[in-house]
Amino acid sequence: MSDKDSLLLILDLDETLIHASSTELGRPADFMLFGYYIYQRPYLKEFLTSCSQYFKLAIWSSASDDYVVEVAKRIVPASIPLEFVWGRSRCTYCFNNLAFEESGHANYHSHYDYLKVLKKVRRYGYDLNKVLIVDDTPAKSKRNYGNAIYPEEYTGQPHDSELLLLLAYLMQLKDTTNVRSIEKRDWRNRIDLLKERGM
C-alpha cells in the first residue's frame, strides 16, 4: 500500500484508461454504461493494482460526474482506495487557446473546453510537487505542464501496451520528491528498461 508520502497519481478516463463507443467494435464490450459500449484498455487491472502499491490514486475526467463515478466503480477494484473521483463539475470551463492554435484556424467559439486545473487539487492540501496527472489530451492539462504525462490515446484497439509502458515509467518516478523538476515530454524514450532492451 502507498504511504502518506507517496505521490498522488491523477488518472483520466476516456481514451486513457477506457474507450466508450456508441457502437460495438467488432467484439463484445467489457461492459455497457449509459448506452455506451465500454472497452477497458489492455492491462488496466494490472496497471491500477501496481500503481496502488506505490502511489495515492485519484480519477479526474471532464465527462459528466455521474458517468465518471460509475466508470470508476466498474474499473477500479474495490480493494484500491481512491483519494477522489472528480468529473466535469471540478473542471474549469474556459477558452482553450492551445486547442485553438493546434487547429490552426477557425471557429473561435468551438474552443471552449473543460480544463483540469491543479490549483483545485492544491486546495485540498496536496503538494503539487508530488502530483502527477495522466491525460491523453494535452490541451485539457495544459495548465499543469510540469505535472503532466501524456499517453497515446486509446480508441478500443484490442492490442495496446501503453499502460505497461506507462507503468514502467511511473515506477521510475515513484520516489521523486519534486515531479516538476523532471522533464516528462518524450517520456517513452526515458524508460530505462526499454533502453536496456534496445526497444
Residue ranges in contact with Mg ion by CB under 5 A: 12, 14-16, 136
Nearest-angstrom CA–CA distance, 63 and 48: 20
Answer whether 20's CB lies under 8 Å from 139's CB: no
Shorter beta-carbon distance to Mg ion: residue 12 or 162: 12
Shorter beta-carbon distance to Mg ion: residue 2 or 9: 9
Shorter beta-carbon distance to Mg ion: residue 54 or 60: 60
**Least CB distance to Mg ion at residue 97 (A):** 19
Shorter beta-carbon distance to Mg ion: residue 130 or 140: 140
Q: Does an H or E element contain 112, and which?
A: strand 112-115
- Size (the chain), residues: 199
Could you say which DSSP state residue 88 is in? G
Shorter beta-carbon distance to Mg ion: residue 2 or 111: 111
**Least CB distance to Mg ion at residue 188 (A):** 18
Shorter beta-carbon distance to Mg ion: residue 63 or 128: 63
Q: Are strands 18-21 and 36-40 parallel, antiparallel or unpaired?
A: antiparallel
Nearest residue to Mg ion on Cβ basis: 15
Q: What distance lies between CA 19 and its chain's CA centroid?
A: 12
**Least CB distance to Mg ion at residue 1 (A):** 27
Nearest-angstrom CA–CA distance, 103 and 97: 10
Of 87, 38, 37, which Cα lies nearest the Cα of 67?
Answer: 87
Nearest-angstrom CA–CA distance, 1 and 30: 27
**Least CB distance to Mg ion at residue 136 (A):** 5
**Least CB distance to Mg ion at residue 13 (A):** 7
Please work out, in degrees rounded to the nearest 5, the angle formed at the alpha carbon of residue 67 by the alpha carbons of 63 and 72: 100
**Least CB distance to Mg ion at residue 91 (A):** 12
